[in-house]
Structures are given as structure tokens and as C-alpha cells.
């Protein structure tokens, strides 16, 4: 079985945003998301792998394979084409949370937004809250914090 490549690192999050975000708008949105997610979750931002900024940590074991590892509760990445938001559990019972989020597209494991102003930040918080609650019910969370 291949080792998981995306692990928490000690890379400076602010430095990463300043060098990786390709436009001034993407940097501005990234720092705003950084503050929003940190205040909401109560967790310090940490780099995961080369490009993901994560908050909190849970330990998962796959139901379909022997794979297991740690992953952030929520996170984002200021990628070139769009900001990738890792805030959605993918659970069928949580699909309704996407209805009022705003303008976005979906990938398999994340939500893509062109700019932060395209989505409703209160709906983003609702989505993060339900995702964290879902993960808490299913997996071992390293430490539980939600400030809002």
C-alpha cells in the first residue's frame, strides 16, 4: 500500500500564501479565509503537504481499504484556477447545505470558488460546522474546538 503523501508540515502558512497565491485578489481572499477558519474552528492553521492549509486534525480509517491516516477537519488551497475549499463531508444528508452557499463548482472532495465574495460566509460556516460534527461522530478527532 502506498504511503499517504499529504501530511502536516512546519512550512509557514503566511509565507506560503504570499508566494503561492497567483494574484493579489487570491492572496486577499486567502488571508480572509485564514482568519475566518481559524476564528471559527479555534485551530491554528497548518500546512498539509505542499499546498493545503488545514485546521484541526482527525484520524481516519477507510471503510473500503486498509488506508488510514490524519487529515485536517477543514481547509483550503489558493490554487491557480480557483480556491479549493475542503469543508464538505460529501454526506448525502448534507447536500442541502450547498443550496445557499453561492457560486461554486464541485470536485470529488472539494468545492471550488473563483473568489471568496462569490459565496455566503455564514453558509460556509454552517457547512464547516456540520462537516466537523459529522467527522467527530465518525472518526477520532485529535482535539475538539469550535468557536462559533
Residue 2 has pLDDT above 70, yes or no: no
Average pLDDT over residues 106-110: 86
Measured at the CA of 31, the angle between CA 100 and CA 122, to 5 degrees, comes to 20
Whole-number pLDDT of residue 92: 82
Whole-number pLDDT of residue 25: 95
Q: What is the pTM of this model?
A: 0.89
Residue 45 has pLDDT above 70, yes or no: yes
Residue 111 domain-assigned (yes or no): yes
Residue 143 has pLDDT above 70, yes or no: no
Pairing between β-strand 105-106 and β-strand 111-113 as defined by DSSP bridges: antiparallel
The string of pLDDT tens digits covering residues 63-96 is: 777 778 888 999 999 999 999 999 998 888 888 9
Count: domains in the chain: 1
Residue 123 domain-assigned (yes or no): yes
Residue 3 domain-assigned (yes or no): no
Residue 80 domain-assigned (yes or no): yes
Report H helices in 1-148: 13-20, 24-41, 121-138
Domain residues for 61? 13-140
Residue 55 domain-assigned (yes or no): yes
Residue 7 domain-assigned (yes or no): no
Average pLDDT over residues 90-106: 91
Residue 1 domain-assigned (yes or no): no
Residue 148 domain-assigned (yes or no): no
Residue 138 has pLDDT above 80, yes or no: yes
Whole-number pLDDT of residue 148: 47
Question: Which H or E element spans position 107?
Answer: none
Report how far residue 6's alpha carbon sits from residue 67's, in angstroms, rounded to the nearest whole number. Answer: 13
Where residue 59 sits, what CATH number does that domain have?
A: 3.90.1150
26 against 3, higher pLDDT: 26
Amino acid at each position: 500500500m502506498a504511503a499517504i503523501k499529504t501530511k502536516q508540515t512546519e512550512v509557514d502558512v503566511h509565507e506560503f500564501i504570499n508566494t503561492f497565491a497567483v494574484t493579489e485578489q487570491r492572496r486577499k481572499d486567502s488571508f480572509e479565509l485564514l482568519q475566518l477558519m481559524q476564528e471559527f474552528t479555534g485551530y491554528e492553521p497548518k500546512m498539509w503537504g505542499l499546498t493545503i492549509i488545514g485546521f484541526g486534525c482527525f484520524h481516519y480509517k477507510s471503510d473500503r481499504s486498509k488506508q488510514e491516516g490524519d487529515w485536517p477537519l477543514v481547509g483550503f488551497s489558493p490554487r491557480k484556477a480557483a480556491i479549493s475549499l475542503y469543508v464538505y463531508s460529501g454526506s448525502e444528508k448534507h447536500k442541502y447545505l450547498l443550496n445557499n452557499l453561492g457560486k461554486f463548482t464541485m470536485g470529488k472532495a472539494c468545492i471550488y470558488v473563483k473568489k471568496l465574495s462569490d459565496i455566503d460566509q455564514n453558509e460556509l460556516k454552517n457547512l464547516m460546522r456540520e462537516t466537523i460534527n459529522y467527522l467527530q461522530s465518525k472518526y477520532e478527532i485529535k482535539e475538539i474546538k469550535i468557536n462559533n
